[in-house]
Amino acid sequence: MRRILRCRFLTTYPSGKAQEKARRRELVYAVKNCRLVKFGNYTGRDGRSVALEISQMRPEMAAYFHGALLVPVPTSGMGVDVAGDDLWSGRDLARLFAETYSARWQLLLDRLTPVEKSSRGQQRSLRRHVESIEVTNRVPDGRIILVDDVVTTGSTMCACAELLLRANARAQVCGFAVAYVPGEGEVLRDFASREYEWDSLDDRPHNRLLDAER
């Protein structure tokens, strides 16, 4: 079955040594690792709080989140909710954005078996993610926003959307992440919307830029 997931982003997560690219990566590192920004425009500030502040620069973000249910995307490993291994930026972002934008947040998805991160060069199909994640609570009707720190290929977030829609076809699922990894030769853009599409669980989703600000 052909599915489409639309996602909103605040910034990009580029490779390269240029200063602007390094600043963008450092902010995203701070969000991913639940720590303070070490250099750049937001030095010394918590990356998650900075992400919220950046979102507030665009009035339409309030409308995007208002009244929705925010659901964290599971991390790539197991046991993120136990003492000593509690870094889960998606959960922290969902909680923070829900409190700010008159939304709700809930844990609906859990990773059963760990998978390699896309950043380590592994080509992860949708099927591998679908088989490693489970729905743990009732999926309600209405608008659901999947929340993550970074989207690389889109496989993880699309697998989560697939599982939620299987559990409740009436759910309206979309996505949000602080940053996305731009394609080869893409111009770095902020406040982007991208569309992810898939027909088969044996492939990675195709994606395209819908709109963005330079």
Q: Which H or E run includes 198?
A: strand 190-198
List pLDDT tens digits, range 96-130.
999 999 999 999 999 998 887 665 455 568 999 99
pLDDT: is 84 or 28 the higher one?
A: 28
CATH of the domain at 130: 3.40.50
Please report whether residue 191 resides in a domain: yes
CB atoms within 10 A of CB 8: 21
pLDDT above 70 for 150: yes
List pLDDT tens digits, range 12-56.
988 777 888 899 999 999 999 999 999 998 999 999 999 999 999
Please report whether residue 178 resides in a domain: yes
List pLDDT tens digits, range 172-187.
999 999 999 988 888 8
Please report whether residue 160 resides in a domain: yes
Burial 132-169 (b: 16+ CB within 10 A, else e): bbebeeebbeebbbbbbbbbbbbbbbbbbbbbbbebbe
Please report whether residue 34 resides in a domain: no
Cβ 39 vs Cβ 23: under 8 Å = yes
Phi, psi of 146, deg, nearest 5:
-75, 135
Please report whether residue 23 resides in a domain: no
- Closest to 113 (Cα-Cα) out of 81, 149, 75, 148: 75
Identify the domain containing residue 158 by its residue range: 3-13+58-213
Please report whether residue 51 resides in a domain: no
Please report whether residue 20 resides in a domain: no
Whole-structure pTM over 0.75, yes or no?
A: yes
pLDDT above 90 for 204: no
Distance CA 128, CA 111 (A): 11
Overall number of domains in the chain: 1
Please report whether residue 21 resides in a domain: no
